[in-house]
Amino acid sequence: MEMRKCGKSDIEVSVLGMGCWSYGGDEESYWGKQEQSAVNEVVAAALDRGINYFDTAEGYNAGRSEEALGVALKGRRDEAVISTKIGPDNTAPAVLREHCEASLARLGTDYIDIYYVHWPITEHSVEDAFATLCDLKDEGKIRSLAVSNFGILQLTEALGTGAQIDLNQICYNLLSRAIEVEIVPLCLKHDIGIVPYMPLMQGLLTGKYGSVDEVPPNRRRTRHFRGDVEPARHGDPGAETETFAVLAQLRKICAEEDIPMAQLALAWAMARPGVTSVLVGARDLDQLADNAAAAELTLETELIHHLDDLTYPLLEELGSNADYWQSRENSRSR
């Protein structure tokens, strides 16, 4: 498994990372129920395959994702790089400290390898938040500071505090390339690694859905889909025809090249400039095996260019707004 360095830090993560959002979920959760036994099995198998990076958040299933990951890593903590995230509303200095301690307790560890600010901070002082994060780093509770869903203005403001920011975790996949316009160039300039989330577009890029109607409603909230149907909230017209036309083309390419679509999508993301680790949510051992195979796949340059050309019209249609859940006007990433 290829390892890549996280920004300016000395932390190395596998090019494929494990997204742990579904861990600790019950029937009411976004991803449905996930038994602890399944989490234990997938985490152990990932480590055995050389995947060392596990991403969770205090907000995932109200802290139960962190707990489930902590349980699954018992006895193997030192083999893993754990990232978790602080919600932006919890970044007032004293609250941030409390929340960091609570994450440490739930994870059953005394240090967090990578601590992300989950979304840009709007309600508190950015200066104070990053000063507190730097203190937590000096105290050894955090090894690396990172951000998630930050646009260029927010990145510039965060860098202006003098904090070393190693990663920006953000939505990036063949159907969602907004960050290439402004965010990737700025990250490259400051040696901030890109950590793509939703590289399979919540399953769309595995080829399992043939039409819009087959996509579960809660996976139709992004600007690829109509914005006037609940639970979408962006209000834009969407790009359903274009999205499914691209998926049909991708299906054809995968058949010709004899590559499963999930592997093509992941290998494409791993090959993009600036990408450190691609986070994918694998729910069972079969999905893990499928996704891990992508890390062994090297796509021909010609094929990559073909995929870029094929998906470019969708980038033009959906624009450079990296918040795929909100219109440009209401974008949280600026």
The residues binding ligand NAP (CB under 6 A) are 19-22, 31, 55, 118, 148-149, 169, 197-203, 206, 208, 262, 279-283, 287, 290-291
In this structure, which amino acid lies at residue 96? L
Query: What one-character-per-residue DSSP string does 291-304 give?
Result: HHHHTT----HHHH
Tokens standing for residue 95: 């609250």
C-alpha gyration radius of the chain: 19
Tokens standing for residue 90: 């919890």
Distances from the Cα of 103 to the Cα of 154, 155, 175, 260, 334, angstroms: 25, 24, 33, 37, 28
CB of 294 to ligand NAP, least distance (A): 9
Distance CA 291, CA 285 (A): 10
Nearer to ligand NAP, 22 or 154 (CB): 22
Nearer to ligand NAP, 206 or 320 (CB): 206
CB of 241 to ligand NAP, least distance (A): 22
Enter the DSSP assignment of 110: S
Nearer to ligand NAP, 162 or 250 (CB): 250
CB of 3 to ligand NAP, least distance (A): 19
CB of 78 to ligand NAP, least distance (A): 21
Q: Based on the residue annotation, tell me whether 60 is a catalytic residue of this protein.
A: yes
Nearer to ligand NAP, 130 or 172 (CB): 172
Given 23, 53, 60, 115, the catalytic residue: 60
Closest CA to 104 of 61, 64, 70: 70
> In the complex, which residue's CB is closest to ligand NAP?
19
Q: Which residues are catalytic?
A: 60
